[in-house]
Structure 1
Amino acid sequence: MSHIDSADRSRALSLTPVSRETEQRLEIIVALLAKWQRTINLVAPATLPVVWTRHIADSLQLMPLAGEATRWVDLGSGGGFPGLVVAAVLAERRDADVTLVESDSRKAAFLREAARLADLPVTVLPSRIEQVAAVVAPGVEVVSARALAPLPRLLELALPFLAQGATGLFLKGQDVDNELTQASKSWRIDAEIRASLTDGGGHVLIVRKAVPLGPEAVGGKSSGGKGFSQGGHHG
């Protein structure tokens, strides 16, 4: 098993400070992740030594962007990023409710065990995203995803939540501008791009609204520029 770098933990928490109680919950998650990683590929093996920066802090950077939101759904939660990390922060809030959607039964089992050990306000749904949206959507304030799908498909999956007022917080790579261009051919998007705090080529895409365009727009009669209203690009 790869060694987790203690210096990386310090770097991560200096980038994204949390309370001592939250830190303790995160330590439980990391310890269980390292244990389960021996038999299930929860994260890329090369990233385990720097799990605190690469996965924990990467997830924590979403919290200031969510304001006071406490009802959250994380799509394709995988090894728990950002969903488990979000729940570790929100655990101090009485009204917190974080739903993790993960169709892989082994990963879902890990998420449930981590939530139990760290006493997190989490519900794990081991189902396909398309099957749970109607059940989860009411009242959700934030919908998140990390490395789940290209933006056009991601917007389709997130639409039930975005349509009823949720904000989308999506961790994306260096091609986020190209993804937005592609998505704007079939969506009218109100979005803002923020540079990642932890990944030089990464970004956080904040989607405040996304509305599907009509069939005529999807057919190519609408220019991509008309579909994307950019709130700002912070580098």
Structure 2
Amino acid sequence: MNANDSNAAGPSGPSSTEAALSDRAQALRLTSVSRETEDRLAAIVALLEKWQRTINLVAPASLPRVWTRHVADSLQLVPLAGEARRWVDLGSGGGFPGLVVAAVLAERAGADVTLVESDTRKAAFLREAARIAELPVTVLPARIEQVAARIAAGVEIVSARALAPLPRLLELAHPFLAQGAVGLFLKGQDVDNELTESAKSWRINSRIQESLTDRGGRILIVEAATPLKPAS
């Protein structure tokens, strides 16, 4: 067997390299970006694949489809944010959507994306990805509750992906929403049930948009959320 045999196409399908290129092309058809942004995204993905060997940044089963499952899923938030430049991503984990958003906003003067991630190893990955891709990113290795009130002023968008059920997510995001930020939250098909549960303790002005990348996915756009009674 020669060194290239492991990457060669077999009778059942394309090589892993071909599959990765196909996944990338499909993602960029769904959510087109500039060539410069694509290069920044490619640098992030390459680093993620390297660090994934020692840190669980994304679900291992999703790695072969990282562009469609994670990159494009994150990119679809950017058009919903208009011309926003000040963005905070809560529980950034492997950088989705935060790093991806920053890769796009890097072309906007004055862009400032803050990633809040309490896991120090993941925070280290986020810093390194921001460095190599030259992103307008600040990484805060802290619990959201510890920093939210301090950094909320002037934030235009607050985002989160698979962070917490909506009632808890609204608690975490409230310091930002209370100062006028719009919430962009990537959710699953149970978002209606989460809204029903949240309505017991929150007055919510929101709308739902279907995901471009996941049939069962939803994007919850929260324009405002006010607690119905003070926290005890």
Q: TM-score, normalized by length of structure 1?
A: 0.90
Q: Is residue 188 of structure 1 aligned with residue 199 of structure 2? A: no
Larger radius of gyration: 2
- Give the superposition deviation at 1:134: 1.8
Distance, in Å, in 1 between the alignment partners of 2:153 and 2:37 is 27
Give the superposition deviation at 1:214. Answer: 2.2
Runs of 4+ in 1 over 2 A off after TM superposition: none
Q: Identity of counterpart residues, as a percentage?
A: 79
Identify the residue that residue 9 of structure 2 maps to in structure 1.
Answer: none
The 5 Å alignment of 1:102-181 reads 102-181=117-196
* SS of alignment partner, residue 78 of structure 1: coil
CA distance in 1, matches of 2:221, 2:122: 26
Counterpart-to-counterpart distance in 2, 1:101 and 1:214:
27
What is the deviation of 1:20? 0.4
User: Which amino acid counterpart does residue 171 of structure 1 have in structure 2?
Assistant: L
Aligned to 1:223: none
Which structure 2 segments of 5+ residues have no match? 1-15
Q: Output the CA distance in 1 between the equivalents of 2:81 and 2:118.
A: 25
CA distance in 1, matches of 2:77, 2:87: 12
Q: Which amino acid aligns with 1:187?
A: W
Look up the SS of the partner of 2:66 in the other structure: helix
* CA distance in structure 2 between the aligned counterparts of 1:136 and 1:82, rounded to whole angstroms: 19
Aligned to 1:24: 39
What displacement does 1:94 show?
1.5
Deviation track 1:163-201 (CA, whole Å, cap 9, x = no partner) reads 000000000011100000000110000000000000010
| Among 36, 53, 65, the residue aligned to 1:38 | 53
| Counterparts of 1:154 and 1:37, CA distance in 2 | 27
1:63 counterpart residue number: 78
Structure 1 unaligned spans of 5+: 219-235
* CA drift at 1:128: 0.1
- The aligned length equals 215
SS of the residue corresponding to residue 160 of structure 2 reads strand
Partner SS, residue 5 of structure 1: helix
The one-letter code matched in structure 2 to 1:180 is L
Aligned partners of 1:166, 1:26: CA distance in 2, in Å? Answer: 26
